[in-house]
Amino acid sequence: MSEKNIPNALKFLFGGSAGMGATLFVQPLDLVKNRMQLSGVGGKPKEYKTSLHAFRGIIEKEGFFALYNGISAGLLRQATYTTTRLGIYTWLFDMMKTDGKPPSFGVKAALGMVSGICGAFVGTPAEVALIRMTADGRLPPNERRNYKSVIDALMRIYREEGLLTLWRGAIPTMGRAMVVNAAQLASYSQAKQLIVEKFKIEEGVLLHFIASMISGLITTAASMPVDIAKTRIQNMKTINGKPEYSGPMDVLVKVVKNEGPFALWKGFFPYYFRLGPHTVLTFIFLEQMNSFYYKNVLGQSGRGAL
């Protein structure tokens, strides 16, 4: 009897729900990562020496709940970006299977790039709002944007700066998404496949956890320089009619020149501790929802999402 697959609409729903669930746990890490990447901009002294220093400083100056500034934007980002990227990836992944066997690593990487570009374009407005909302607390009171929620942020950006500003940084965001998804989705699928083959670990939470941690480490190292370029472009202001940066390469050149090459990996640990657990939780939630559907609706056991 041929295997049945989950309907495409549910693949998108499961993908977005998994990402949103993971974001509830890792939002403070995302905020610290953004603050670390914006620390030292324009040759100013670094605000934070380490990730722990950033955590302590934010809590002392702004209060514990400041760690969840921008949570509404973070959830909307997952509802748009992750819904699209995981939905498209799982849909294409099933299409590219041959006789029930998963596609090659190169095909997985290509599928990750395609799904990442699509997800990034859809999710850029929420990303812009998220970057600004998480960065607001580091500014002097008279310079803060003080968005009340992600809806308020999107409406004000549209009214005050124009529609296209909602897609500011879309190109580096899509470039980052290509790197992140090619690394994350392909390495997760490949790690999972190799672990099953070499160590005979069966489909389940342990398998998903190990594959996710491997995927998170690879993705962090590969994507951080692009992520820094994206973060600074989306947070930049226009001064006397001139933007701070002309594009992603301008950001990277200025960062290396003014802050040193290792600044491209500034905030590595909060980025990894954010991306690693987010990867783990997203894939575990996604796999559990898919496994539940396969077992209880389609009557098939031992199948995962990727």
**Per-residue pLDDT for 1 more than 50?**
no
CATH of the structural domain 8-296, one choice from 3.40.50.1370, 3.30.420.40, 1.10.10.10, 1.50.40.10: 1.50.40.10
Spell out the residues 6+ positions from residue 69 whose beta carbon is closer than 8 angstroms to its own: 31, 62, 133, 134, 136, 137
Residue type at 232 in one-letter notation: R
Q: Would you call 65 exposed, middle or buried from its count of C-beta atoms within 10 A (0-12, 13-18, 19+)?
A: exposed
Choose among 218, 210, 231: nearest CA to 272.
218
Choose among 123, 135, 212: nearest CA to 176.
123
Per DSSP, what are the bridge partners of residue 242?
Answer: 239
Kindly report, residue by residue over 163-198, the tens digit of the pLDDT: 999 999 898 889 888 988 888 888 898 899 899 999
Which of the four pLDDT bands, split at 50, 70 and 90, describes residue 24?
A: very high
Please state the three-class secondary structure of 191-224 as a single string.
Answer: HHHHHHHHHCCCCCHHHHHHHHHHHHHHHHHHHH
Kindly report, residue by residue over 190-231, the tens digit of the pLDDT: 899 899 999 988 888 899 899 988 998 888 888 888 888 888
Whether the Cβ atoms of residue 117 and residue 178 lie closer than 8 Å to each other: yes
Per-residue pLDDT, 220: 87
Per-residue pLDDT, 3: 62
**Per-residue pLDDT for 20 more than 50?**
yes
What angle is formed at CA 189 by the lines to CA 183 and CA 193, rounded to 5 degrees?
135
Per-residue pLDDT, 304: 65
Kindly report, residue by residue over 253-284, the tens digit of the pLDDT: 998 998 899 888 887 877 787 777 888 889 88
**Per-residue pLDDT for 296 more than 50?**
yes
Which of the four pLDDT bands, split at 50, 70 and 90, describes residue 305?
A: low
What b/e string do you get for 167-179 counting C-beta neighbours within 10 Å, with b at 16 or more? Answer: bbbbbbbbbbbbb
Kindly report, residue by residue over 232-257, the tens digit of the pLDDT: 888 887 777 888 888 889 999 998 99
Per-residue pLDDT, 267: 74
Per-residue pLDDT, 6: 84
Which of the four pLDDT bands, split at 50, 70 and 90, describes residue 42?
A: low
Which of the four pLDDT bands, split at 50, 70 and 90, describes residue 302?
A: low
Per-residue pLDDT, 250: 92
Distance CA 74, CA 175 (A): 20
**Per-residue pLDDT for 2 more than 60?**
no
Structural domain boundaries in the chain: 8-296
DSSP structure class, residue 281: H
Per-residue pLDDT, 79: 95
What mean pLDDT value characterizes the chain?
Answer: 87
Per-residue pLDDT, 115: 94
Which of the four pLDDT bands, split at 50, 70 and 90, describes residue 81?
A: very high
